Structure 1
Amino acid sequence: MPEVHATIRAATPGDLPAVAAIYTHYVLGGVATFEETPPGLEDWRRRLDDLAGRALPFLVAELDGTVAGYAYAGPFRPKPAYRHTVEDSIYLAPGRTGRGLGRALMGPLLSGCARAGARQMVAVIADTGDPGSIALHEAFGFTRAGVLKEVGRKHGRWIDTVLMQRALTPTGD
C-alpha cells in the first residue's frame, strides 16, 4: 500500500458538505451503510455538535486540499449503561481507498475516544464481501465479537453485519 501524506484534523462546519457527499455516495450506491436516504447538511451539523459536546472526535483526512475521508465515534447505544462504549464510522471518498487513509484516521480516532473516557469501541461492519474494513479493524487490535445474519436489506439483497470490538482503556474498575 502506498504511503499517504494526509493531514488528519478535527472536522469543521466547512468540511460538512464534503463529508455529506462522501456519505451520500455510500448511501445511494452501496451497502456499507444501511441508511437509504442521505442525511442533509443540518443533520451533519447536529452530529458534529453532538460529538463535540461529548468530547468525542470527528476527524477528516485532507489530501491535496480536499476532504478525502472522515471518521468519528458516537454512542454505541442510547441507554445510559452504554455511555462508555462508542461505535466508529470511517468513510473514504470514492477513488481514495487503498491508500492508507483509513489507517491514518483510525489511530487518532482511537486515542481521541480514549481521552474522552470511552472504554470500548465497537465496529458494526456490513459484510459486503470486501475485506477492507475488517482488515483495517484487525490491524488496530479489534477482534470479532460475532455476526448478525441477514439483519439488513438494501438494494434487493440481505446483508450480514460483522461485530468487532476493542478495549480503549484497561478493563476492570
Structure 2
Amino acid sequence: MIVRQATEADAKALAAIYGDAVLYGFGTFEEVPPSAADMDARRRAVQDQGLPYLVAEVDGEVLGFAYAAPFRPRAAYRYTLEDSVYVSPAARGKGIGRAVLSAVIAACEALGVRQLMAVIGDSGNDSSIGLHRAVGFEQTGVGKSVGFKHGRWVDIVHMQKPLNGGDARLPDAPGITLTGH
C-alpha cells in the first residue's frame, strides 16, 4: 500500500468512493454524489491551504482517501482541523482507512495543529467510530437526529484527538490560515 498526496488524476476514484458513501451510507449527509470535477475542486481547495488530502493506493488503484480541512471558519479555530476518511466498499476492513487516517494525523501534527475533530454521520457507524477510537480519538458528544437521510433521522458523533500537547500549553505557532471548506 502507498499513501500519497491526492492528485487531479485521482478525481474519478475519489468521486466513486465518495459517491458510494453518499448513495448508500450515512457517513456523509450529502444526498447527490459530486462529479469527479467537483471532487477535484474540493481536493484542490484543501491542498491549496497547505493541508493534507491523501489517498491509499494498492496495485495502482486508489482504495481510500482522507483529508483534514478547517473545522470552522472563525479565527479562534485556527489550531483545529476536521478529518474525513472514506474507503472503497471492496476494501473496507483491510487497514486502508487506518493507514490513510494515520498519515493525515501525522501531517496535522507536523503543521502544529492542536485538535483534530471528527464529525461522524450515524451513531451506528461502528466502523468509522471504531477506526477513530483505534487511532486515539475520544467521543465528545452526539447530536441526536440532526440529519434526515434515506428515510430516517441520523445522529452525528463528535470525536476529538489532541495533537502536539493539545491544550496543555499555549500555541507556539500562528496556526492554520483559515479560508473555509
Does TM-score exceed 0.5, indicating one fold? yes
- The range that moved more, 112-121 or 69-78, is 112-121
Q: TM-score of the superposition, structure 2-length normalised?
A: 0.88
Write the distance in 2 (CA, Å) between the matches of 1:80 and 1:41.
Answer: 31
* Residue 44 in structure 1 maps to residue 45 in structure 2: no
* Residue 109 in structure 1 maps to residue 104 in structure 2: yes
Counterpart in the other structure of 1:159: 154
Give the total of aligned pairs. Answer: 168
* Residue 119 in structure 1 maps to residue 114 in structure 2: yes
Write the distance in 2 (CA, Å) between the matches of 1:45 and 1:126.
Answer: 23
Write the distance in 2 (CA, Å) between the matches of 1:130 and 1:108.
Answer: 22
Q: Displacement of 1:128 after TM fit?
A: 5.1
Q: Secondary structure at the match of 1:56?
A: coil
Q: Is the 8 A contact 1:60 1:67 kept in 2?
A: yes
Q: 1:17 aligns with which of 12, 15, 33?
A: 12
Write the distance in 1 (CA, Å) between the matches of 2:103 and 2:68.
Answer: 11
Write the distance in 1 (CA, Å) between the matches of 2:131 and 2:8.
Answer: 27
* Residue 148 in structure 1 maps to residue 139 in structure 2: no
Q: Secondary structure at the match of 1:77?
A: coil
Aligned-residue CA RMSD (Å): 1.3
Q: How big is each residue's C-alpha offset from its partner over 1:111-166, in whole Å with a ceiling of 9 and x where there is no partner?
A: 10122232110001112524111111111111111010000100110011110000
Write the distance in 2 (CA, Å) between the matches of 1:145 and 1:32.
Answer: 17
Write the distance in 1 (CA, Å) between the matches of 2:25 and 2:159.
Answer: 21
Q: Secondary structure at the match of 2:51?
A: coil
* Residue 91 in structure 1 maps to residue 86 in structure 2: yes
Write the distance in 1 (CA, Å) between the matches of 2:163 and 2:137.
Answer: 10
Moved over 6 A (4+): none
Identity rate of aligned residues, in percent?
49
Q: Secondary structure at the match of 1:118?
A: coil
Write the distance in 1 (CA, Å) between the matches of 2:41 and 2:144.
Answer: 32
**Which consecutive unaligned segments of at least 5 residues does structure 2 have?**
171-181
Q: Displacement of 1:103 after TM fit?
A: 1.2
